[in-house]
């Protein structure tokens, strides 16, 4: 059933009728290295078709400004030597020459810094845009947003991972890539300057004299290596602490979102105190996670602060003897000191960015966890022994359930294999005790429940309207809400207005083009009336109802279901409901009976001529009243 539902709705939450017990499998443990490799494999797709020209153009511009910035640093290093040598020799013409060169150095540095900033931010925005569209589209397509909670319980806030973690995985990555490239090139360039200008150190120990070639460069590398090792040991636990913090923040945000979405129900039952306790408990987890980070940050800060006080002084100590002996001029001392600091800054890049690296790795892991869960939906990696229901196309225009069985993800059968044929235009009522799998059956028919066996064959080109108990109303105007997911064909003038009148919503005509949060402003009964107005406007070939009239009184139900029967006689209707009066609107009843091996399905026609006569007259009366 590859067709897009004509009346797409918000995915219903798993019911609590016993249909979703033990659905979720334990998350698969994946090593950090494997997650990093998979993330890079996915994210680097930005440099492949169809966006490769944009990606490579921006990348080359970034590299150009990195090169200009490195050139300005080398120029600045040479200028330091020239200036201090001129100052030491009291060479006034040379001083004026250096003064004249100084604005050029500043200009070069400004151009490099500004260009690199703009190109770097552009790369971050475009790369994040590409990856966000990739994962967001993947999550929304084929009802994965609906199936995800069944497959991966740990994916509690996928929207947070898409909006925040993708950003935190991409933006620092661009900075890190530029930083590492700059560090490597800078370290190599200025180490060469240390080697050439600093020369060798003559050392005498125990009467034995020997030379240490390139001693300044060697000292810079050894010092940076030692600081990096200590910092890595001190900062490694930060990765797990940051991951725990991010998950706690996501849980806290999800808890507040749940509170807002259920505000009316909570307020009516005076659940303020319980909800306050629940939200504060979640925030307590956030506080605990942050204190773990603070504790580890203190250790890392000790290493960074010690290094910050030492590395500007060390090159002066190393160069001072050669300056005193006359082997180095004052300008050369300043040059090698600046070069030593540059090498240090490059080689201890990881130390300076340790906290950001920890935060970045935690976000990468969370993005890959979401991607893994989406892959599991597609390929059934964690489906264990559970098969999938096959979806196909029928040849006779009817709906065929061939040996259809619905199962939990752990393999336990909910509905035993059954064969049912629903003819075109037939109105079928699904009945049974709570927990027998009624909602699961219609979700399978709607293509939302893949777990089980057998096949479902749908008419070719069928448009399907799925009507849950709480219809989904998107943001925007009421007109757009009624036409929601109707495709690109324009709705003829007057059709929406007539549908509102016939569904007893005349008073909303003047607000038809008003943009509002209609899901919050309309009552449950009004939302269900809007869903019926959608049917009259969109006229789908298959209508799947799940307690679609539960918020309506009997008269309203009679009127609206009568409209469906009279106005959409060719539409197939499959509905779930508990009211006895629903029988009159259906031709056949499919009953689910609980058994230990899975509910069995039986089918029987509904025949009540007197009820049908009353229904016909009642429908005509209420429809006329609605139009008036």
The neighbour count for residue 41, using CB atoms within 10 Å, is 10
Half-sphere exposure of 549 (CA within 13 A, CB side): 22
- Lookup: tokens for 400: 């065929």
pLDDT attached to residue 207? 64
What is the mean pLDDT for each group of 10 consecutive residues in the chain (628 residues)? Answer: 38 39 50 87 91 92 90 80 79 83 84 90 93 89 77 72 88 88 78 71 66 73 76 74 80 82 74 83 87 80 73 73 74 74 71 76 86 76 62 89 85 86 92 86 83 90 86 86 75 89 91 87 91 92 90 89 90 88 89 88 73 48 46
- CA neighbor of 363 nearest in space, from 176, 174, 162, 175: 162
Q: Longest Cα pair distance anywhere in the chain, in angstroms?
A: 122
Could you please report the per-residue DSSP string of 584-627?
A: GG-SEEEEEE--TT-BEEEEEE---HHHHHHHHHHHHHHHHHHH
User: What is the distance between the alpha carbons of residues 482 and 78, in angstroms, rounded to a whole number?
Assistant: 71
- CA neighbor of 217 nearest in space, from 241, 198, 235, 245: 198
Domain boundaries, the chain: 132-379, 390-627
Fold match flag (132-379 vs 390-627): no
User: What is the distance between the alpha carbons of residues 575 and 524, in angstroms, rounded to a whole number?
Assistant: 18
- Lookup: tokens for 179: 């930083």
Question: What is the crossing angle of helices 166-193 and 354-379, to 10°?
Answer: 140
CATH of 390-627, one of 1.20.1250.20, 2.30.40.10, 3.40.50.300, 2.40.50.100: 3.40.50.300
- Can you name the residues that pair with 591 across neighbouring β-strands? 431, 602
- Lookup: tokens for 378: 């597609």
Half-sphere exposure of 297 (CA within 13 A, CB side): 14
Question: Can you list the positions of beta strands (E) in 137-233?
Answer: 201-205, 208-212
- CA neighbor of 526 nearest in space, from 545, 565, 544, 553: 553
Q: From the centroid of its chain, how far is CA 97?
A: 57
132-379 falls under which CATH superfamily?
Answer: ABC transporter type 1, transmembrane domain (1.20.1560.10)
The neighbour count for residue 345, using CB atoms within 10 Å, is 17
pLDDT attached to residue 498? 93
Asked if 247 contacts 157 with a C-beta cutoff of 8 angstroms, the reply is: no
């Amino acid at each position: 059933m590859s067709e897009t539902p004509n009346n797409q709705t918000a995915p219903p939450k798993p019911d609590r009728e016993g249909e979703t017990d033990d659905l979720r499998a334990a998350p698969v443990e994946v090593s950090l290295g494997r997650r990093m490799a998979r993330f890079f494999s996915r994210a680097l797709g930005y440099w492949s078709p169809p966006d490769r020209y944009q990606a490579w153009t921006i990348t080359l511009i970034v590299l150009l400004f990195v090169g200009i910035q490195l050139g300005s640093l080398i120029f600045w290093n040479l200028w330091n030597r020239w200036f201090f040598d001129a100052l030491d020799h009291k060479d006034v013409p040379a001083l004026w020459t250096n003064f004249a060169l100084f604005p050029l150095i500043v200009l070069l540095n400004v151009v490099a810094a500004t260009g690199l900033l703009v190109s770097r931010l552009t790369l971050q925005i475009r790369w994040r845009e590409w990856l966000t569209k990739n994962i967001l589209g993947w999550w929304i397509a084929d009802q994965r947003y609906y199936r995800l909670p069944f497959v991966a319980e740990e994916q509690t806030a996928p929207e947070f991972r898409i909006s925040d973690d993708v950003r935190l995985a991409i933006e620092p990555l661009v900075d890190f890539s530029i930083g590492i490239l700059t560090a490597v090139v800078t370290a190599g360039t200025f180490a060469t300057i240390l080697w050439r200008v600093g020369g060798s150190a003559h050392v005498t120990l125990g009467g034995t004299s020997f030379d240490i070639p390139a001693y300044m460069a060697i000292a810079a590398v050894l010092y940076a290596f030692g600081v990096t090792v200590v910092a890595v040991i001190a900062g490694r636990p930060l990765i797990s602490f940051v991951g725990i913090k991010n998950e706690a923040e996501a849980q806290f945000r999800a808890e507040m979102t749940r509170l807002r979405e259920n505000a009316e129900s909570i307020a009516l039952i005076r659940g303020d105190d319980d909800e306050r306790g629940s939200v504060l408990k979640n925030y307590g987890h956030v506080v605990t996670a942050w204190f773990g980070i603070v504790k580890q940050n203190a250790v890392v800060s000790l290493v960074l602060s010690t290094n910050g006080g030492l590395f500007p002084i060390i090159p002066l100590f190393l160069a001072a003897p050669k300056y005193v002996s006359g082997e180095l001029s004052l300008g050369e001392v300043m040059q090698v000191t600046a070069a030593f600091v540059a090498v240090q800054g490059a080689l201890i890049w990881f130390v300076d960015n340790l906290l950001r690296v920890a935060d970045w790795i935690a976000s990468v892991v969370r993005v890959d966890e979401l991607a893994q869960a989406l892959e599991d939906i597609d390929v059934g990696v964690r489906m264990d022994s559970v098969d999938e229901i096959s979806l196909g196309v029928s040849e006779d225009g009817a709906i065929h359930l061939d040996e259809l069985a619905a199962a939990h993800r752990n393999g336990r059968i909910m509905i035993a294999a059954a064969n049912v044929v629903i003819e075109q235009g037939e109105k079928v009522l699904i009945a049974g005790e709570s927990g027998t799998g009624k909602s699961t059956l219609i979700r399978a028919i709607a293509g939302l429940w893949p777990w089980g066996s057998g096949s479902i064959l749908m008419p070719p080109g069928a448009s399907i309207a799925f009507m849950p108990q709480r219809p989904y109303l998107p943001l925007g105007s009421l007109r757009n809400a009624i036409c929601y997911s109707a495709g690109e064909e324009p709705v003829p003038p007057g059709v929406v207005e007539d549908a509102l009148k016939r569904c007893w919503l005349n008073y909303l005509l003047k607000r038809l083009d008003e943009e509002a949060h209609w899901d919050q402003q309309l009552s449950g009964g009004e939302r269900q009336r809007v869903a019926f107005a959608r049917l009259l406007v969109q006229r789908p070939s298959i209508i799947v109802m799940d307690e679609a009239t539960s918020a309506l009184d009997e008269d309203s139900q009679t009127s609206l279901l009568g409209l469906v029967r009279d106005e959409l006689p060719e539409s197939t209707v499959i509905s779930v409901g508990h009211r006895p009066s629903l029988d009159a609107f259906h031709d056949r009843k499919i009953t689910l009976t609980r058994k230990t091996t899975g509910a069995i399905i039986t089918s029987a026609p509904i025949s009540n001529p007197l009820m049908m006569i009353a229904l016909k007259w009642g429908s005509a009366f209420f429809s006329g009243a609605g139009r008036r």
